[in-house]
Amino acid sequence: MHSHGLAERLGTRQSVDMPRGEPLHAADALVRAVQHGIEQLHSNGVTNEAIAGEIYVAVSTVGRWARGRTVINRENAALLASKWPAQFPDLVERVGEYERQQKVDKSPPALRVMDSVLDTYQEVVTVLEVEDVAPDKRIIRHCAFHGERGRARRDEEDLPAELRAVLQRFDTALTRRIHEGWHVQELFSVGSVQRLDGRVRQVALLEAPALEVRAFPASPVPLLAPFIIGDQAFVATDNQRWHRAEAGLKIEGNSSLLNWLHRYLDTLWDLAPYRLRDQAGPNDDEFARLRRDLDE
C-alpha cells in the first residue's frame, strides 16, 4: 500500500544537518545519515510501512536501516534521496564515499586462527578487558550456541585449572561490561530447564540499561557462532567435549566481512522465537512460555 503524495508533501521541508562530531568511517557516516533521515520522517508522522511502500522494499529492511543494522545500497539510497531530498541530502554521495572506502578494505583482513577452547577464550578475554574503548564501540553481540550435555556434566569432570580460570575471567569481564551499560545482545540456545534457570536467567536478570536477551529452544546443530565486540569479531564452533567455543577465527581490519557477520547475526536475532529481555527489562511471560515448551 502506498502513501500517495507523501514524498511530495515532505520534500520541500528544510533539511536538518547531521550531528557533527569526530570524523566517521564512511560506513558509519552513511548509516547515521540514513538513520537521521528516517528519524526526520518519523517526526513528521511517516511510518516505516509508508517508507517501505514508497520505495518498494520490505518493512523489515527499513527497520534495519532505522536501527543502524544494515548499510544501504546505492539503488535504495537513490530512491530515498529522490522521494525525500530534504531528509536525505547528499545520500548518494555518501554511498560513493562508502564504496570507495570499501575498495580499500578489500585487502585481506587480519585473521587469527585459534584451535583450542583455551586459546579462543584467552583471545576473547583480552579484547573484553581492554579499558580504553570509544563510546561508539561499546557494543557486544554474543551468540552462545552450545551443546547441553557438556554443560550438565561440567561439575562432574575436572576442567583444567587454566581453562577454568579463563572461563571465569570471561564471565566476569562480560558481566562487568553489561553492568557498565554497554549495548549487549545475548543470543542463547536453551535445550534444558537447567540451562534456562542457570546462565540464561542469571544474565537476563542483571541490572543493566542496555541488555537484550533472546533464545532458541534447543541446542542447534553446529553453527557459526559470532561474538562481536566493537569493530572486532570472533567466529567459533562448539567443542564436543567441553561444549565451549573453539576452532575460533578472530577478524579485524575488514569492514565488509564484519558487516556480513552483523547481517548473519541479525538474521539469527530476528528468528529467535523467545524474547526473554529487552531494554525495558526481563519478560516473565516469555520465560514461562519457554519453560512450558522445554517441559513438554
Report how far residue 36's alpha carbon sits from residue 241's, in angstroms, rounded to the nearest whole number: 48
Please name the amino acid found at residue 60: S
67 shares its domain with 13: yes
pLDDT band at 35 (very low <50, low <70, confident <90, very high): very high
pLDDT digits (tens, 9 = 90+) for 50-99: 999 998 888 888 988 998 877 888 888 999 999 999 999 999 999 888 88
Summarize the confidence of residues 162-171 as an average pLDDT.
88
Please name the amino acid found at residue 185: Q
Q: Is residue 10 part of a domain?
A: yes
pLDDT for 236 equals 82
48 shares its domain with 187: no
Determine phi and psi for 116, rounding to 5 degrees.
Answer: -145, 160
93 shares its domain with 171: no
pLDDT for 147 equals 67
- Per the structure, how many domains does the chain have? 2
pLDDT band at 243 (very low <50, low <70, confident <90, very high): low
213 shares its domain with 239: yes
Report how far residue 183's alpha carbon sits from residue 229's, in angstroms, rounded to the nearest whole number: 10
Q: Is residue 20 part of a domain?
A: yes
99 shares its domain with 125: no
Could you tell me the CA-to-CA distances from 285 to 100, 193, 231, 267, 274 in Å, in that order?
Answer: 48, 15, 34, 23, 10
Please name the amino acid found at residue 221: V
Q: What CATH number did the domain enclosing 44 receive? A: 1.10.260.40
Summarize the confidence of residues 142-157 as an average pLDDT.
61
Could you tell me the CA-to-CA distances from 252 to 88, 147, 229, 237, 238 in Å, in that order?
Answer: 31, 28, 10, 18, 21
Summarize the confidence of residues 13-33 as an average pLDDT.
56
73 shares its domain with 131: no
Determine phi and psi for 230, rounding to 5 degrees.
Answer: 60, -120
Q: What CATH number did the domain enclosing 284 receive? A: 3.30.870.10
Segments forming the whole domain that contains residue 169: 110-295
pLDDT for 255 equals 67
51 shares its domain with 127: no
Is the pLDDT at 152 greater than 50, yes or no? no
* Contact present, 100 and 26 (Cβ < 8 Å): yes
pLDDT for 139 equals 92
Is the pLDDT at 198 greater than 80, yes or no? yes
Report how far residue 240's alpha carbon sits from residue 233's, in angstroms, rounded to the nearest whole number: 22
pLDDT for 220 equals 57
Lowest-pLDDT range, 72-86, 115-129, 217-231? 217-231
pLDDT for 110 equals 66
